Amino acid sequence: MAGSSLDATTVRDAALKLFAERGYRATTMTDIGAAVGIRGPSLYRHVSSKQDLLVSIMVETMRELIAGQRTAAAAGGDPAQVVRRMVEAHVRFHAAHREQAFVGNREIDNLEPPNRECVLRLRRRYADGLRAAIATGRDASVFKVASDRLAAYAILDMGIGVATWFRADGPSSVDEVAYTYADYALAMLTAETSPGTAQRGGTAAL
Amino acid sequence: MAGSSLDATTVRDAALKLFAERGYRATTMTDIGAAVGIRGPSLYRHVSSKQDLLVSIMVETMRELIAGQRTAAAAGGDPAQVVRRMVEAHVRFHAAHREQAFVGNREIDNLEPPNRECVLRLRRRYADGLRAAIATGRDASVFKVASDRLAAYAILDMGIGVATWFRADGPSSVDEVAYTYADYALAMLTAETSPGTAQRGGTAAL
DNA sequence: CCTACCGATCGGTAGG
DNA sequence: CCTACCGATCGGTAGG
């Protein structure tokens, strides 16, 4: 096939797969080279370092997530509709790009200081996007949340988990999971919260 | 102080802290030794290998989680009460033992084959515990979930996330998070699900 | 519990 | 894009 010469994207895809399978530290440049048909040292013709490979994977992942969230926010609609779209986009990404999401969440500590702060900043921006949408709904009295921060974390973390167990050939389709999780998010945001601690689980029976 | 001689537990605690901070592979036996005041090679007087340290940490973590869940199940009450107690115990553990939970979720792939399967079996048993409680509530028509599996994953993953962001000196107390997340879980399980796809987020505006 | 050290591995460079 | 190789690191053992 024409254009079969290696480019940085091909190498990055191979590295992503290996990082997801065995972890960043357990993956060697020799492994990545073998995955694209060359020797380890030859990789330095296409990428500057192993660390750089991880950085570009993680930054790209956050860019895609943020772009999807922005599109959801820009589409308009009431707060419930906006949150629904954000959650669906979030879940869809984690189901369709499991490896990216998985590596993005597990290898943060393997990012060297300057790069780590950069990625953490992007993550914070992403979380703040959902948080703002929730706060808007609360201010408009359509959501009843005690803490927009807690609600955003709960919804985001629930979707992040999808990357760990979702299988394309499993019992649930991407759509099913996306719709169900959006329902869950809306249920969390609109439910009446129990007023006291009387009926809490921990001590009610005592 | 009396009894200041090293035991396996002290070493394990030091290893846990280091594994959580910098990851299993990035932690050396020299590091762990230094944390308890001895040289790397001397550790082999107390533990059999670095891998064994990771295994015992992860198995112990799952045992504690399962024990907490069993206690919640054994306390009785209606399905809502049981799920509430399970979610609160789950969240409490992830907030109070962040390092254990964090390592338990990130280092699974660094477990060698025989050990990994053992830990995965324990994780499955734990997930099945919540799933069964949800199924009981659905069969009794107190919960309205399309999939007990999806609901259990969503609730568990939301709690697992607590280990990544919770700070004892942060804005939310353990109780607050535990109660709020239990409310979220019950809201998810008892909400009316939207009947069709007409008002879904993805294509409604088209 | 220590020092000395083995055997193996790895990221990256040199020099074609 | 390759081979040869450097410099550094690491888990674990030997032998006190």
The pLDDT of residue B195: 54
- Residues B165-185 pLDDT 10s: 999 999 999 999 999 999 999
The pLDDT of residue A203: 44
Strand C proximal to A41 Cβ, under 7 A: yes
SS3 state at B71: helix
Query: Is the pLDDT assigned to residue A1 strictly greater than 70?
Result: no
Quote the minimal CA–CA distance from A10 to chain B in Å: 25
Tell me the CA–C1' distance in angstroms for A42 and C13: 11
How far apart CA B123 and CA B117 sit, in angstroms, is 10
Beta strands in chain B, from DSSP E residues, in sequence order:
none
Does the CB of A96 have a partner CB in chain B at under 8 Å? Answer: no
- Of B104, B83, B96, B103, the closest CA to residue B155 belongs to B83
Give the best residue of B85, B158, B175, B193 to mutate against chain A (max A CB count within 10 A). Answer: B158
- Residues A131-158 pLDDT 10s: 999 999 999 999 999 999 999 999 999 9
Among B residues 118-137, those touching chain A with beta carbons less than 8 Å apart:
none
Judge: B162–A157 Cβ closer than 8 Å, yes or no. yes
Residue B120's identity, in one-letter code, is L
- Of B3, B16, B2, B1, the closest CA to residue B47 belongs to B16
Tell me the CA–C1' distance in angstroms for A94 and D8: 38
How far apart CA A173 and CA A166 sit, in angstroms, is 9
Among A residues 36-65, those touching chain B with beta carbons less than 8 Å apart:
none
Mean pLDDT, chain B, rounded, equals 93
Q: How far is CA B1 from the centre of its chain?
A: 34
- pTM of this structure: 0.93
Does the CB of B23 have a partner CB in chain A at under 8 Å? Answer: yes
| Nearest nucleic acid nucleotide to A29, CA to C1' distance | C11
The pLDDT of residue B192: 77
Residues of A in contact with B204 (CB under 8 A): 77, 81
